Amino acid sequence: MCGILAILLASTNNVAPELAEGLQLLQHRADEIAVVRFAEDSQDACGIVTCGPKGRFYQCKGNGMVRDLLDAKSLAQLVGGMGVGHARYPTAGSSAQSEAQPFYVNSPYGIVFAHNGNLTNTDHLRYYLDHYAHRHINTSSDSELLLNLLADALQKTGKFRIDEDDIFRAVREVMQTTSGAYACSAMIAGYGIFGFRDPNGIRPMGWARRRSETVEGGWDYMMASESVVCDALGFQDWVDVKPGEAIIITRDGLTAREVVPARTFAPDIFEHVYFARPDSVLDGISVYRSRMAMGDALAVQARNKLEAEGIKVDVVIPVPDTSRVAALQLAQNLGVPYREGFVKNRYVGRTFIMPGQELRRKNVRRKLNAMALEFNEKVVLIVDDSIVRGTTSKEIIQMARDAGAKKVIMASCAPPIRYPNVYGIDMPSRKELVAHGRTIEEVSAYIGADLTIFQTLEDLVQACSSINPKIEQFDCSVFTGEYVTGGVSEEYLSHIEGLRADNVKAKAGARGAPAMVTVNGKSTKADNVMLASEPLNDDVSGGGEVAGGGDISQVVGLSNEGEGGAHHEPPSMVIGLGNSSS
């Protein structure tokens, strides 16, 4: 999953520090543990591009977490009052530094682009861009395709200056040609920022504004994956972008338009189960309240199952962090004590996102420690938000037994996950999913539980839609194998399994080792681009029109691992390293 963010200030103050702060709040969408970052090729990446005087772009991006990569020194060099940020973990292409976002194209106008989601017709798009648009695609990233489609559509206007209608039209063209999930933020040099959400509203996105502190009567605007960014940065009145809608923000204000009619409104329910922060509200549904409702529903099920089996539970124990909210609710409903029996090492991140099964397994143990006094001689009910590969459950059940538990019952707030996610969550291979091809009893035996209780899909959907009844449908494909966009065939699933299963990624990881880039003679992890030599003019035009694009002096560190596509095998290369003028 990824986090996207864009901010446009009313003033020309530097926006980079706020973008970095916002990205920190989205880090859970691309979180990976410290051990991985130092021991192996890092999967996570992040980046910021700002637009400064004379429409010049300033960029810092690369592998690593926000707090490490976007340090004060780097941020000080990112000039300008508008910018785009991205926190990535890959669902297409590789984890190579060259695929870190935001992406940039110089033509037309200078566009910077960040994407959360995953496209399902990339072969087709790649073919079109190669054979018809004649645009060079330099990585295996689906997001680079999306940006180039957008650029192609804007290019077709043939205009020196574009306006809002041109952008809306270009976004419509993109939506009409792409299939899959996408929430995107973009920026045009010297013009403004814009964003859009796919016609099924699968990935979340919204916007907000606040009064400028420096420009009287002016507004600062932001758009982001989750509302938590809006709250923390002091923006107000969060508005969700609708499926098929695009928004354009310039210094003149915001315009929203439905560019294609919504096909469905089916947000990915896994955002509520696991991905999103509990303090976010997505499409009018508080993630926290939906997780409470999941706990309530699971309690009813658990009571019935436990009674039927004649089991009396002594204690309910959550698997930190995500399941805590639901587990507390479940314990209260059952009238059983809730105890934090697993202590989490706060310096270890989310294990689910880590690359490679062996690493994930080891790190469950590094991350969680069982306190014997909460397990010894007890019948324990362990609650997790989901059981995906079964790595966590298998390890912690063994830990519970080692700590003296008499019986271990496992409960999952989500139903069994049996199908890949093709919309931006890295669950690409059926074979890796513990419940694929297994009954509940078989899953239970595999993870070593005495009994395993899963939420029903009906209860999960009800838990989310009860908070906002206007959202009647969710993408539940990981549970059902029914994909809201359609067009996800058996052939396609086998194809992505071939590209993205753990074993394939392990090989690709070696090929995709991040390029080291030299900036001003220093070796750095980041693609750090400083373009302007001295303060120039305004960074954003009065809005409405762009004057022939911005001025960008260099692009850095390009390399390619190849998706195996027949039409593209671009060479590894580095273009224009070094600082232009400063």
Ligand X SMILES: NC(=O)CC[C@H](N)C(=O)O
279 in a known ligand binding site: no
Question: How far, in Å, CA of 287 to CA of 281, rounded?
Answer: 6
Residue 118: strand pairing partners: 181
Per CB under 6 A, does 27 bind ligand PRP? Answer: no
Residue 114: strand pairing partners: 185
Per CB under 6 A, does 388 bind ligand PRP? Answer: yes
CB 110 within 8 A of CB 189: yes
DSSP secondary structure letter of residue 431: G
Q: Give me the residues that bind ligand X (CB under 6 A), please.
A: 1-2, 88-93, 115-118, 141-143, 424
The region of 133-141, 319-327, 510-518, 571-579 touching ligand PRP under the rule CB under 6 A is: 319-327
CB 25 within 8 A of CB 228: yes
Phi then psi for 453, rounded to 5 degrees?
A: -115, 125
Residue in 2, 46, 51, 413 annotated catalytic = 2
Q: Which does 390 bind (CB under 5 to 8 A by kind): ligand X, ligand PRP, Mg ion, none?
A: ligand PRP
Q: Which does 93 bind (CB under 5 to 8 A by kind): Mg ion, ligand X, ligand PRP, none?
A: ligand X
Output the furthest CA–CA distance in the chain (Å, rounded): 76
Give the burial class of 414: count Cβ atoms within 10 A of its Cβ; 0-12 exposed, 13-18 middle, 19 or more buried: buried
DSSP result, 122-183: HHHHHHHHHHTS-----SS-HHHHHHHHHHHHHHTT--SS--HHHHHHHHHHHHHH--EEEE
Q: Which does 515 bind (CB under 5 to 8 A by kind): ligand X, ligand PRP, Mg ion, none?
A: none
Look at the alpha carbons of 493, 499, 502, 504 in this order and tell me if their dihedral is positive or negative: positive
Among 116, 143, 178, 386, binds ligand PRP (CB under 6 A): 386
CB 272 within 8 A of CB 282: yes
The total of other beta-carbon atoms located within 10 Å of residue 127's CB is 15
Question: How far, in Å, CA of 36 to CA of 38, rounded?
Answer: 5
Q: Which does 388 bind (CB under 5 to 8 A by kind): ligand X, ligand PRP, Mg ion, none?
A: ligand PRP
Q: From the CB of 387, what's the least distance to ligand PRP, in Å?
A: 5
Q: Which does 386 bind (CB under 5 to 8 A by kind): Mg ion, ligand X, ligand PRP, none?
A: ligand PRP
The region of 65-73, 201-209, 310-318, 388-396 touching ligand PRP under the rule CB under 6 A is: 388-396
**CB-nearer residue toward ligand X: 142 or 563:** 142
**CB-nearer residue toward ligand X: 146 or 380:** 146
122 in a known ligand binding site: no
Scanning residues 313 to 342, which ones bind Mg ion (CB under 5 A)?
A: 322
Q: Which does 387 bind (CB under 5 to 8 A by kind): Mg ion, ligand X, ligand PRP, none?
A: ligand PRP
Per CB under 6 A, does 385 bind ligand PRP? Answer: yes
- Residue 202: helix, strand or coil by DSSP? coil
Q: From the CB of 88, what's the least distance to ligand X, in Å?
A: 5
Among 352, 375, 423, 479, binds ligand PRP (CB under 6 A): 352
CB 422 within 8 A of CB 356: no
Q: Which does 92 bind (CB under 5 to 8 A by kind): ligand PRP, Mg ion, ligand X, none?
A: ligand X
322 in a known ligand binding site: yes
Residue 368: strand pairing partners: 344
Per CB under 6 A, does 274 bind ligand PRP? Answer: yes
**CB-nearer residue toward ligand PRP: 37 or 156:** 37
User: CA dist 210 to 50, 221, 544, 581, Å?
Assistant: 20, 7, 21, 36
User: CA dist 128 to 63, 107, 142, 480, Å?
Assistant: 30, 18, 13, 32
CA 302 to chain CA centroid, Å, is 32
**CB-nearer residue toward ligand PRP: 88 or 172:** 88
Residue number of the CB atom closest to Mg ion: 322
Per CB under 6 A, does 391 bind ligand PRP? Answer: yes
Q: Which residues contact residue 439 at a Cβ distance below 8 angstroms, ignoring those fewer than 6 apart?
A: none
Per CB under 6 A, does 392 bind ligand PRP? Answer: yes
The identity of residue 505, as a single letter, is K
Per CB under 6 A, does 390 bind ligand PRP? Answer: yes
Q: How many CA atoms lie within 13 A of 37 on its CB side?
A: 21
Among 149, 387, 532, 552, binds ligand PRP (CB under 6 A): 387
**CB-nearer residue toward ligand PRP: 290 or 322:** 322
**Percent of the chain as helix, strand, coil, to the nearest 5:** 35, 20, 45
**CB-nearer residue toward Mg ion: 283 or 384:** 384
Note if 2 is an active site residue: yes
**CB-nearer residue toward ligand PRP: 289 or 291:** 291
**CB-nearer residue toward ligand PRP: 366 or 511:** 366
Question: How far, in Å, CA of 54 to CA of 572, rounded?
Answer: 31
Q: Which residues bind ligand PRP (CB under 6 A)?
A: 274, 319-322, 350-352, 384-393
Active site (catalytic) residues:
2
Q: Which residues line the annotated binding site for Mg(2+)?
A: 322, 384-385
Q: Which residues line the annotated binding site?
A: 322, 384-385
Q: Which residues bind Mg ion (CB under 5 A)?
A: 322
